[in-house]
């Protein structure tokens, strides 16, 4: 339709990128993930979050090294771009947030950031990096990275759900055990008898408090 055509024409077009610019974007993405994961590995309390952070370090260091080898093989110098600047700003903000997040909230915050970041990356690879890459080795590297990004996203979402379930369980358990049971005490009756007659007296008191 005319409206649909106009909408597409008004949408911002992807920035043309050179291989040098793509290589710099890839290096930044990997460096950022490693830096964030190192903070997480030191501050995380949950075992799965800590393990996930170590996986990020291993995988992104590997990808970073492959990018560096390819850059050397091609004999080019990575170059900045508008997309690189945007990603650098986002990375800086994420690092600042992680450094300033209290330990009690850190695991949840880190995983939320990872989900947000890994949700954007596949679209960036598909729409901006691969279509602009000229070198076949660079395209192959991007193609290799993509499924790993999706695997990281799936794992982060699973951890997020586990953290939510753990919080819900802790809250429920706390509500059930938040009070103390009441206590009661009493004295039993005593009785005496003489000359065929008997009298018995008894008293009992009980008190209970509970919250």
Mean pLDDT of the region 147-170 = 92
Q: What is the CA radius of gyration of the chain?
A: 32
Mean pLDDT of 116-142: 96
State residue 172's pLDDT score: 59
pLDDT for position 208: 44
- Averaged pLDDT for residues 175-204: 46
Better-predicted residue by pLDDT, 8 or 128: 128
Res. 98: pLDDT tops 50:
yes
Higher pLDDT, 48 or 176: 48
Q: Percentage of residues in the chain with pLDDT exceeding 70?
A: 73
> Does the structure show a pLDDT above 60 at 175?
no
The Cα–Cα gap between 201 and 211 comes to: 34
Mean pLDDT of 79-89: 97
Give the pLDDT mean for 88-105.
Answer: 96
Say what the alpha-carbon torsion angle 57, 62, 65, 67 is, to the nearest 10 degrees.
Answer: -110
8 A C-beta contact, residue 45 and residue 107: yes
More confident residue, 196 or 153: 153
**d(Cα 83, Cα 120) in Å, to the nearest integer?**
13
Q: How many CA atoms lie within 13 A of 114 on its CB side?
A: 32
Residue 128: DSSP 8-state: I
Mean pLDDT is lowest, of 71-80, 99-108, 134-143, 161-170, for: 161-170
116 pLDDT band (50/70/90 cuts)? very high
pLDDT higher than threshold 50 for residue 82 = yes
Token pair belonging to 13: 């077009």
User: What pLDDT is attached to residue 124?
Assistant: 96
Residue found by looking up tokens 């009661």 in the block: 184
Residue 166 is predicted with a pLDDT of 84
CB burial of residue 141 (10 Å; 0-12, 13-18, 19+): buried
| Helix runs in 44-195, H state only | 47-74, 82-100, 103-124, 136-176
- Is residue 165 within 8 Å of residue 144, measured between CB atoms? no
User: What pLDDT does 170 receive?
Assistant: 63
Is the predicted pLDDT of residue 195 greater than 50, yes or no? Answer: no
34 versus 185: which is more confidently predicted?
Answer: 34
pLDDT (mean) for 29-52:
97
CB count within 10 Å of CB 169 equals 10
Q: At what angle do helices 47-74 and 136-176 cross, to 10 degrees?
A: 170
Which residue shows structure tokens 């393990």?
Answer: 51
Q: Which two tokens stand for residue 28?
A: 């930044």
């Amino acid at each position: 339709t005319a409206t649909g055509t106009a909408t597409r024409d008004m949408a911002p077009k992807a920035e043309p990128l050179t291989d040098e610019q793509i290589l710099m974007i890839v290096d930044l993405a990997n460096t950022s993930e490693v830096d964030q994961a190192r903070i997480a590995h030191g501050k995380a309390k949950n075992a799965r979050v800590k393990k996930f952070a170590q996986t990020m370090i291993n995988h992104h260091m590997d990808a970073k090294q492959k990018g560096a080898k390819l850059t050397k093989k091609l004999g080019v110098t990575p170059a900045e771009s508008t997309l690189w600047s945007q990603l650098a700003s986002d990375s800086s903000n994420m690092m600042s947030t992680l450094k300033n997040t209290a330990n009690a909230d850190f695991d949840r915050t880190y995983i939320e950031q990872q989900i947000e970041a890994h949700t954007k990356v596949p679209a960036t690879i598909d729409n901006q990096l691969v279509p602009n890459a000229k070198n076949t080795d660079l395209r192959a590297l991007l193609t290799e990275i993509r499924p790993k990004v999706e695997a990281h996203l799936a794992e982060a979402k699973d951890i997020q759900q586990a953290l939510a379930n753990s919080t819900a369980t802790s809250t429920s358990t706390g509500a059930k055990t938040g009070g103390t049971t009441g206590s009661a005490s009493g004295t039993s009756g005593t009785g005496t008898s003489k000359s065929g007659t008997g009298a018995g007296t008894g008293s009992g008191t009980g008190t209970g408090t509970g919250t």
